[in-house]
Amino acid sequence: MLYLRDRDMAAPPKPVEKVDGVVIRFAGDSGDGMQLAGARFTSETAMMGNDLSTLPDFPAEIRAPAGSLPGVSGFQIHFSDHDILTPGDEPNVLVAMNPAALRTNLRDLPRSGTLIVNRDAFTDRNLEKARYTANPLEDGSLDDYHVHEVPLTSLTLEALKDVEVTKREAERSKNMFALGLMSWLYHRPTEGTISYLEKKFQSRPPIAEANVLAFKAGWAYGETSEDFRVTYEIAPAKLPPGTYRNIRGNQALSLGLLAASVKSGLPLFLGAYPITPASEILEDLSRRKDFGVRTFQAEDEIAAVGAALGASFGGALGVCTSSGPGVVLKMETIGLAVTLELPLLIIDVQRAGPSTGMPTKPEQADLLLAMWGRNAESPVPVIAASTPGGCFDAAIEAARIALKYRTPVFLLSDAYLANGSEPWLIPDVDFLPDISTRFADAESHEGDFLPYRRDAETLARPWAIPGTPGLEHRIGGLEKADGTGNVSYDPDNHDHMVRLRAQKVAGIAADIPELAVDEQGDEELLVLSWGGTYGPVQAGVRRVRNDGGKVAHAHLGYLNPFPRNTGDVLRRFEKILVPEMNLGQLSKLVRAEFLVDAVGYNRVRGLPFRSSELAEAMKGML
Amino acid sequence: MKDGNGGRPLVQLTAKDFKSDQEVRWCPGCGDYAILAAVQGFMPELGIARERIVFISGIGCAARFPYYMQTYGMHSIHGRAPAIATGLSSSRPDLSVWVVTGDGDALSIGGNHLIHVLRRNVNLKILLFNNQIYGLTKGQYSPTSPLGTHNKTTPFGSLDYPFNPVSLALGAEATFVARSVDTDRAHLTEILRRVAEHKGSAFVEIYQNCNVYNDGAFDAVREQENRILLQHGEPIRFGGEDGTVERGVVVRPGGGVEIVDVASVGEDALLRHDESAEDPSLAFALSRLSHTPVGPTPLGIFRAVERPVYDTLMAEQIEVTKRELGEGDLKKLLHAGDTWAIS
């Protein structure tokens, strides 16, 4: 791999130290371009073949007041020469672009960690905004860290003095200087970033030039500055063979929905209303007209799901994407879909609540909302994605269930999966499941067409779409007579229909994989997790095992119905720990369903679990 | 509606073919019966096979309508029919999709969906049965009840100023706006004919008598002397029969329109109705002649203009993209961007 075109002209190489993994956090003002720097570093790292996991952490405000504490935006990347599960509990290296970034992030950096700061940003004004009474670069408070004070702003300005950009534009390139320095320090390839910048700023060549020059200047600074004496090398990880790309959860979900459309042979209709952190799926799919995707940015959350249901009635794969505050508005329509028994996907990219809560921060507190957030008995299958890449498979599986059982299906993701990234083994399209379904037509039934006559095995009703001659029928929210679907107020019929709808959903348990347990066979403690916490929980389990502890782990991707062996699994263990980013929602479900004494580990900090805290919680139960 | 039958030959059907086997359960004497009969009587004229016709409704007395039509249908939830119909119509441009709604359904709980469907110009035929009352919930005032209405929830008189549905639709950028009356079958059928021909959202307010909770609300417009029948290209004039004074509509200096005696201004001064005017100002002014119909009230087509149809635009974007980029290739898309191989 080519590191830099003019490498030969640089100073003699510095000593190289081999490490097995590192966690870097870029932190700066929202306007400092930390997310871009982080994303580029991630791409470079992916191209190196390291395993990686990322965690962007940014405020909901697009541009909070410059230099202020709430305006700090961070991006953490964990990369290694072996397979990893999380973006790392704490950084080994913190890049702090201003005093506010230092103040809000320093508490996560262990003593003796490496700190790279932009010295130019430590002005009296910025120190005051970050509520420092003394300059931490001068008062000795950073003595326990390996501090590199780099005049990032002035070096960038100096490097760009001959480029035709304003001072402000030149200053804005300092994130690329920082990226260049970090790329040098960790031997990242640079070609990708250079061509990325050239393309991104294609229409403004001076800006492109400025960014590329700043990037190269950062690299050169590392090579020549006395301040950096060694560089670090992280060997590629040994991952299963195949072709990989780096992917974020929302991207994987969009691709999964497209794959579901292709594999079902049904056109995709997405109704959505912009909402963080789900909007990106609407944005992604609105570009995919080449797949015949219809995206409808509705006037509100209710219209979004309504239109998706209307499209389903017409034979499309109807999908709506949202987050908790939007999902609550959709519940009446989801109830209608329950009784209409039409396929519909509801994707909830969960965020911290209640109400508006913390829009950019993850939580998994919508589980009971998905389970029971509708009037009366209205069961809906619920599944949850476990990793960013896993969002792809979860989308296809949600579609499979919805189409086969003619039911709305909840797919739960969260802000951590949505924005986090990892290398993804690109699946072979030919081996994706066939989820095609059959519409009712004149040949598919005997005698009169009965819109609520059920398939004996799945209990699904026929899907007769408008345009099919002879099958004209009316459906609606009023209770229907079994078979005919005509309006019925008959007491016994209602009792029967309520039970039939419940049975249909419960019966899906026979059609999903059993719950797998990661165990040696002699454990007393089972950790039961679900959804987006898979990485940190499994990493916590590995920590405990490394320390000699015995712990088994089972992770649920299906929440309703549960896998058919769930009760058997839970009853095999003496102790059950259920870590959740809520106050105990899965705990309640398994306690109620299986009468087991599940103990919760519950934190709602708007941040993913740390594997270390989970390991402690597990050890506390051994 | 040639586009409603996928280029197939027109189908010969009768009104009877559009009657479902379900017993109609509106109150005896309800205006809904007359509208149902008019719609079923008109449907054969569409020349579209029944399976290509869909009626979607929300909640309320009017919303039972789909059950009685031998077509595809959905009786959905309160106020959401326009949203559901948008999804269906825009993903299935081959269908003829009709929305049946009421004053509470369309203008109160579903007001947001109604205005947005109209501005988008989704290819939907929207029949709003306005009876100025909540019938199904037994007689509460609605968003079209006149100010001061006394009923169950307003024993001291309602405080809400009512909507004028035609004004609202015009303000929401509707391309087709009309008004008719339940029992005037000839007029209603003529309007339905034009609704069916219109490409895009066609909105019709139908004055509908609720003989149980709001009987006689529209008696005034059943009187010939109060019916201002709008006819494209013609001077707007009414009355004059049986010794009544003939009146007409003129543009008022300084804006708006007003009713005058024809004799006092002369025929040439009368406003000629232009339903195809791009500027909706005069149509809006006409809609203001009667806010709740207690006196002379315009009936007919206020506005009928052409604007690109949402469904068509959506289909075209897909078509053009496929032509330019080719049919989407999933394998290629999954491998797009930076990839690396591990062996």
Residue pointed to by tokens 């909770």 = B213
Give CA–CA dist A567/A553, Å, rounded.
Answer: 15
Domains of chain A, residue spans: 2-233, 245-431, 438-511, 517-621
Q: What is the pLDDT of residue A12?
A: 59
Q: Which residue of B has its CA nearest to A451?
A: B72
Mutate to test the interface with A, among B18, B52, B65, B76 (most CBs of A within 10 A): B76
> What's the CATH fold of domain A245-431?
Rossmann fold (3.40.50)
CA distance B91 to chain A (A): 6
What mean pLDDT do residues A324-331 have?
A: 98
Sign, Cα dihedral of A54, A57, A61, A67: negative
Q: What is the pLDDT of residue A11?
A: 52
Q: What is the pLDDT of residue B164?
A: 97
Residue B314 in contact with partner chain A when CB distance is under 8 A: yes
Q: What angle do CA A237, A35, A14 make, to 5 degrees?
A: 50
Contact B136, B165 (CB under 8 A): no
What mean pLDDT do residues A337-362 have?
A: 97
Sign, Cα dihedral of A372, A377, A378, A379: positive
Q: Flag if B76 and A336 touch (Cβ within 8 Å).
A: yes
Chain B residues whose CB is inside 8 A of the A472 CB are 50-51, 70-72
Q: What is the pLDDT of residue A455?
A: 96
Residue A148 has a CB neighbour count (10 Å cut-off) of 18
Look over chain B and give the mean of its residue pLDDT values, rounded to a whole number: 95
Residue A133 in contact with partner chain B when CB distance is under 8 A: no
Residues in contact with B108: Cβ distance below 8 Å, sequence separation at least 6, in sequence order: B79, B142, B143
pLDDT-derived band at B7, boundaries 50, 70, 90:
low
Phi first, then psi: give them for residue B213, nearest 5 degrees. -110, -15
Write out pLDDT tens, residues B215-254: 999 999 999 899 999 999 999 999 988 888 999 999 999 9
Give CA–CA dist A602/A598, Å, rounded.
Answer: 12
Q: How many CA atoms lie within 13 A of A601 on its CB side?
A: 27
Say if residue A1's pLDDT is above 60.
Answer: no
- In three-state secondary structure terms, A300 is coil
The torsion region of residue A298 among left (phi > 0), alpha (psi -120 to 50) and beta comes to: beta
Q: What is the pLDDT of residue A7?
A: 43
Residue B61 has a CB neighbour count (10 Å cut-off) of 26
Residue A291 in contact with partner chain B when CB distance is under 8 A: yes
- Name the residue among A429, A432, A284 with its Cα closest to residue B332: A429
Q: What is the pLDDT of residue B9?
A: 57
pLDDT-derived band at B1, boundaries 50, 70, 90:
very low
Q: What is the pLDDT of residue B241?
A: 85
Give CA–CA dist B281/A31, Å, rounded.
Answer: 47
Q: Cα A477 to the chain's mean position, in Å?
A: 35
Say if residue A5's pLDDT is above 50.
Answer: no
Q: Flag if B74 and A475 touch (Cβ within 8 Å).
A: yes
Residue B323 in contact with partner chain A when CB distance is under 8 A: no
Pairing verdict, β A16-18 and B202-207 = unpaired
- In three-state secondary structure terms, A550 is coil
Q: What is the pLDDT of residue A2?
A: 37
* Closest by Cβ to A244, choosing from B86, B116, B339: B339
Chain B residues whose CB is inside 8 A of the A47 CB are 338, 340
Give the least confident one: A10-19, A249-258, A398-407, A510-519.
A10-19
Say if residue A3's pLDDT is above 50.
Answer: no
User: Strand pairing partners for A189?
Assistant: none
Chain B residues whose CB is inside 8 A of the A242 CB are 341-342
Distances (CA, A) of A229 to A117, A220, B254: 17, 13, 83
Cα diameter, chain A: 89
Sign, Cα dihedral of A49, A55, A59, A64: negative
Mutate to test the interface with A, among B86, B91, B322, B333 (most CBs of A within 10 A): B91
pLDDT-derived band at B11, boundaries 50, 70, 90:
confident
Q: What is the pLDDT of residue A65?
A: 87
pTM listed for this prediction:
0.94
Higher per-residue pLDDT: A12 or B183? B183
Q: What is the pLDDT of residue B56?
A: 98
Mutate to test the interface with B, among A246, A293, A295, A474 (most CBs of B within 10 A): A474
Look over chain A and give the mean of its residue pLDDT values, rounded to a whole number: 95
Is the complex ipTM higher than 0.90? Answer: yes
Q: What is the pLDDT of residue A445?
A: 85
> How would CATH label the architecture of A2-233?
3-Layer(aba) Sandwich (3.40)
Write out pLDDT tens, residues A353-391: 999 999 999 999 999 999 999 999 999 999 999 999 999
Name the token pair of A621.
């139960």
What mean pLDDT do residues A412-440 have?
A: 97
Name the token pair of A430.
């030919």
- Name the residue among B147, B148, B165 with its Cα closest to residue B207: B165
pLDDT-derived band at B6, boundaries 50, 70, 90:
low
Q: Flag if B51 and A306 touch (Cβ within 8 Å).
A: no
Convert A329-355 into a string of H (helix), E (strand) and C (coil): HHHHHHHHHHHHCCCEEEEEEECECCC
* Closest by Cβ to B113, choosing from A289, A294, A303: A303
Q: Is A438 exposed, middle or buried (0-12, 13-18, 19+ CB in 10 A)?
A: exposed
Give CA–CA dist A40/A212, Å, rounded.
Answer: 13
A245-431 and A2-233 share a CATH fold: no
Give CA–CA dist B266/A573, Å, rounded.
Answer: 97
> How would CATH label the architecture of A517-621?
3-Layer(aba) Sandwich (3.40)
Distances (CA, A) of B72 to A363, B48, B87, B128: 42, 13, 15, 19
Q: What is the pLDDT of residue A196?
A: 95
A575-580 β-sheet, strand order: A517-518, A552-556, A525-530, A575-580, A598-602
Chain B residues whose CB is inside 8 A of the A484 CB are none
Q: Flag if B331 and A429 touch (Cβ within 8 Å).
A: yes
Write out pLDDT tens, residues A40-59: 999 999 989 999 999 998 87
Q: Which of residues 77-116 of B touch A (CB under 8 A)?
A: 77, 80, 82-92, 94-95, 112-113, 116
What mean pLDDT do residues A530-557 have?
A: 97
Contact A26, A178 (CB under 8 A): yes
Q: What is the pLDDT of residue A61?
A: 77
Residue B312 in contact with partner chain A when CB distance is under 8 A: no
